[in-house]
Structure 1
Amino acid sequence: MLVCLFAVFLSAQVASWVIFAKHNMSISGGEYVLSGAHLCNYNFDAGAELTVEINWILGIVREILTMCLAVWIAIKHFRELQRPLIGAVGDCFAVSIQTHVFYFAR
């Protein structure tokens, strides 16, 4: 499960970096001085907004997948509460559930 989660996270991050680099290459800017005030103007190529939206969608999908996995771990943990937990394995599940609940409760 950890390998699958790591692979999804890494692939989403790499895709996000590539999209961000492509988006940055489509931006041109200029500086204007009007009555002593310096103003910046940015021009985006056509389709630049689409790359920003794709980047947001990738992040949202990754967060939803992480939330689903956290809920799955919590459900498994609550089902196993009927049986006695053994040592550090129980502590790892408890800490994982607490951190995921605090993260998604904000």
Structure 2
Amino acid sequence: MPGKALLSLGLLPVHALATQLEPNVKMSNADLTDLGENFDKVKNGYVDFLPLDDKGWPFIVLEAKSENKAPLVGKEQAREYAISFYLKYVILSNGNQHYFWNIYKGTVYYGFP
């Protein structure tokens, strides 16, 4: 299940952020509320995971697929999400395979060091 692998990276799904923050997050629920009700909403749905930087701003899109799907299946969907948030980095994952992608350079790296 990709959720276990992604949670082990210290990430929570965006929809979980409104009710529960990771223990080390320096952002309060009030700060999250200030971002707006649907800050993770994009034109065609919601981003799976939207990690925030230390200032509380999104810095990368993480598109999660089920284990039985190739992560690259979500490439175009993730590109649209990244563009809508003015981001250039995407992680595509099915919990077992992970790709890091700079959408503007077109460089896709398989796995992580």
TM-score scaled by length of structure 1: 0.28
- Which structure shows the bigger proportion of residues in strand conformation? 2
Q: Could you say which structure has the larger radius of gyration? A: 1
- Which structure shows the bigger proportion of residues in helix conformation? 1
